Amino acid sequence: MGEVERGHLIGPWEKLDYFDRQSIDLPRAVGLLEAWNILMEKPWPGLKWAFRVRDAISARFGVKRIGGFSGQRKDAVVVGERLDFFLVEGVGPEALLLTERDRHLDVMTCISVKETRLSITSSVIVHNWFGHTYMIPVGPAHKVIVRTMLAQLQRTLAEEAGSVEHELGRSG
C-alpha cells in the first residue's frame, strides 16, 4: 500500500476510526486539480442519490446538508477556499488536503500524486454515537465509491490517450 504521510491524515493513527487508501496508476501524469476536475465532471451516477439520502437522514440529527458535488471546474485553489463541501486545508504540487469537520466527526480526504500514481486517502475521527452510526454504512460505501471514481478516471485518461494516438496516426 505504501507509506502514508502523517500530514495526509486527519489525526494520529491511533485516533483514527476510519482509514482507506486507494491508488491507481494512470496512463499519464496529471495535476491534482486536473484529476479533481475529471473526477467531478462525470461523477458516479449513484452519488447524487447517495448524497440526497445522506442529507435527508443527517439533517434530522443537526448535521448540515452538503448537497454533493457541483461539477464546477477549478483552475486554481488556495488554502481556506472550498471545493464543494470540502475546506481546502493544504495544497501543494503532490497533495491536496480536503476536510469537513462537525460535532459528529472530522474527515480528511487527501488526493496525492507521485508521477503517474494517484492516491485518495480518507481518514475519519468520530466524536460521538451518531458519528459511529453514520460510519456503519458510509465506510463501506465510501470504499466502493472511491474505487469506482478512480476506475472512471483511469478509463477517461486511457480513452483520451487512445484518441490522441488515433489522431496522430491519421495525420501521419
Say which residues have a Cβ less than 8 Å from residue 126's Cβ, sequence separation at least 6.
Answer: 17, 18, 104, 105, 132, 135
How do residues 32-44 score in pLDDT, each as one tens digit? 999 988 888 876 6
Q: How many domains does the chain have?
A: 1
CATH number for the domain that contains residue 10: 3.30.530
The reply to whether 1 falls in a domain is no
The reply to whether 84 falls in a domain is yes
Looking at residue 138, its pLDDT comes to 87
Among 138, 156, 122, smallest CA distance to 53 is for 138
How do residues 39-74 score in pLDDT, each as one tens digit? 888 766 766 766 677 667 777 766 666 655 655 777
How do residues 152-163 score in pLDDT, each as one tens digit? 999 999 988 776
The reply to whether 104 falls in a domain is yes
Cα Dmax for the chain: 64
The mean pLDDT of the chain is 84
Beta bridge partners of 96: 91, 111
Looking at residue 128, its pLDDT comes to 94
The reply to whether 63 falls in a domain is yes
Say which residues have a Cβ less than 8 Å from residue 107's Cβ, sequence separation at least 6.
Answer: 10, 99, 100, 101, 122, 123, 124
> Please, what is the Cα angle at 111 between 16 and 116, to 5 degrees?
130
The reply to whether 127 falls in a domain is yes
- Do residues 113 and 29 make contact, with C-beta atoms less than 8 angstroms apart? yes
- At residue 4 the predicted structure's pLDDT band, cuts being 50, 70 and 90, is low
The reply to whether 71 falls in a domain is yes
Compute CA 101 distance to the chain's CA centroid, rounded to the nearest angstrom. Answer: 15
The reply to whether 169 falls in a domain is no
**Residue 69 belongs to what domain range?**
6-164
Looking at residue 168, its pLDDT comes to 46
The reply to whether 23 falls in a domain is yes
Handedness of CA 158, 161, 165, 170 (dihedral sign): positive
Q: How far apart are CA 94 and CA 100, in angstroms?
A: 20
Altogether, the residues listed in the chain come to a count of 172
Among 154, 149, 145, smallest CA distance to 51 is for 145
